[in-house]
Amino acid sequence: MIYLDNAATSWPKPESVYQAMEHCMRHAGANPGRGGHRMALDAGRILFECRDTLADLFHIEDPNQIAFMLNATDALNTALFGFLNPGDHVVTTGMEHNALARPLRCLERMGIKLTVVPADPYGEVAVGDLEAACTGGTKLMAVSHASNVTGTVLPIEKIGQISRKKGIAFLLDAAQTAGVEDIDVDLQGIDLLAFTGHKSLLGPQGTGGLWVRENITLKPLRWGGTGSNSESDLMPDIMPDKLESGTPNTVGIAGLNAGLRFILEKGLANIRLQENELRQKLWTGLAAIPGVIRYGSDNPEHKTGVVSFNIKGLDSGKVSYLLDRRFAIATRAGLHCAPWAHNSIGTLATGTVRASIGCFNTAEEIDLLLEAVRNITDTEGSSS
């Protein structure tokens, strides 16, 4: 199998991730923070270490401001429902994933005011338009760092500067960038950082987190046991306990920590360079195949390893199916849970085929994908 669906979930994982999870299951599988025996302490240490490694990666001063979550969706819901009240104004973009769009639409029905700043047909959002949308009453700018449809990376440092200048909080959805792009919460003026563990952070599904700047208070999304302040039937007011009710995914977090260590050892810049080279090879290779339509701008700068395309006259689902069945190449077809983004680039009716590169892909695999696309256009395309 040639796996090019890394924007959905990365695969394979580094060998150390599998080992860390098995080790945790076998030797540290107790409940962290809930007991004083040595196995519970070992489990607690896994959470502590992973929070520390995440803080290193995102340049976070206090690891305790990071709460573990199920995924980016969980983190975004916690941030949005915990921060916003009826009457608050939020600015977002026309490229967002449903993980941000749906809770925002739900909150809109509950009385928040929402401005969706449109993207151009290449999936680019002008920072000036975002700034202009921030009125006197805007409380939050909520944007994804990179589109999961076109791979376009937003200039978040500039957005952070606007949010600082205007006194607006900045929520970043880093689902597509954590583990490949540089994220520095202070330098980039981020106030709330939502990330998922199972994509470029190379951890397993069921992991992720939310970092909350110290001056921000969130209402919890869930209430329950935390292993702390147990004499009280109210939630503790300290991070991360306040946002972490119930037994965490310790096994998953052990795997996530191993994924993070792999990234730190390999170097973010090296991973990015390698993925960019493969992306560019795929992007230019597809341009040379008659009948292929690519989406997004031609500018190779500020792109993740995501490439969306279609073959003229062929359904995106059929192309992805043929790639899998005939060539054992895994891609994803359709709307990728991002109807706003497809509306922006004009593919809401058709969807796209998405090939997404991860840190274990090779140039040979990209050549094989290009050969397979060429074969499908020759045998099935409208020009055949």
Cα distances from 68 to residues 51, 175, 322, in angstroms, run 8, 14, 38
Which C-beta is closer to ligand PLP: that of 30 or that of 337?
337
Other CB atoms within a 10 A radius of the CB of residue 337 amount to 15
Stretch that binds ligand PLP, among 15-23, 28-36, 70-78, 102-110 (CB under 6 A): 70-78
- At closest approach, how far in Å is the CB of 321 from ligand PLP? 21
Q: Which of 6, 10, 53, 73 binds ligand PLP (CB under 6 A)?
A: 73
Record the tokens describing residue 281, joined without a space: 């090879």
Residue at token pair 């607690």: 44
Stretch that binds ligand PLP, among 19-27, 67-75, 248-256, 272-280 (CB under 6 A): 67-75
Q: Name the strand (E) or helix (H) holding 138.
A: strand 138-144
- At closest approach, how far in Å is the CB of 358 from ligand PLP? 13
Which C-beta is closer to ligand PLP: that of 10 or that of 176?
176
Cα distances from 66 to residues 145, 235, 238, in angstroms, run 19, 17, 11
Q: Is 99 in the site for ligand PLP (CB under 6 A)?
A: yes
Binding residue count for ligand PLP, defined by CB under 6 A: 12
- At closest approach, how far in Å is the CB of 238 from ligand PLP? 26
β-pair type (138-144, 2-3): unpaired
- One DSSP character per residue, 143-175 reads EESB-TTT-BBP-HHHHHHHHHHHT-EEEEE-T
- Residues facing residue 243 across a β-bridge: none
- At closest approach, how far in Å is the CB of 379 from ligand PLP? 31
Q: Which of 10, 93, 144, 344 binds ligand PLP (CB under 6 A)?
A: 144
Show the binding pattern over residues 268-307: x = contacts ligand PLP (CB under 6 A), - = does not.
----------------------------------------
Whole-angstrom distance, CA of residue 369 vs CA of residue 278: 12
- At closest approach, how far in Å is the CB of 53 from ligand PLP? 19
The sign of the torsion formed by the CA atoms of 178, 184, 185, 187 equals negative
- At closest approach, how far in Å is the CB of 326 from ligand PLP? 26
Which C-beta is closer to ligand PLP: that of 196 or that of 316?
196
For 282-294, b/e burial (b = at least 16 CB within 10 A) is: bbebbeebebbeb
Which C-beta is closer to ligand PLP: that of 209 or that of 227?
209
End-to-end CA distance of the chain: 27
Considering only residues 164 to 203 of the shown chain, the ones binding ligand PLP according to CB under 6 A are 173, 175-176, 196
Which C-beta is closer to ligand PLP: that of 332 or that of 374?
332
Residue at token pair 């292929």: 292
Q: Which has the closest alpha carbon to 62: 249, 262, 181, 215?
A: 215
Q: Which residues are within 8 A (CB) of 237 and not within 5 positions of it... i.e. 6 or more apart?
A: none
Q: Is 148 in the site for ligand PLP (CB under 6 A)?
A: yes
Q: Which residues bind ligand PLP (CB under 6 A)?
A: 71-73, 97, 99, 144, 148, 173, 175-176, 196, 208
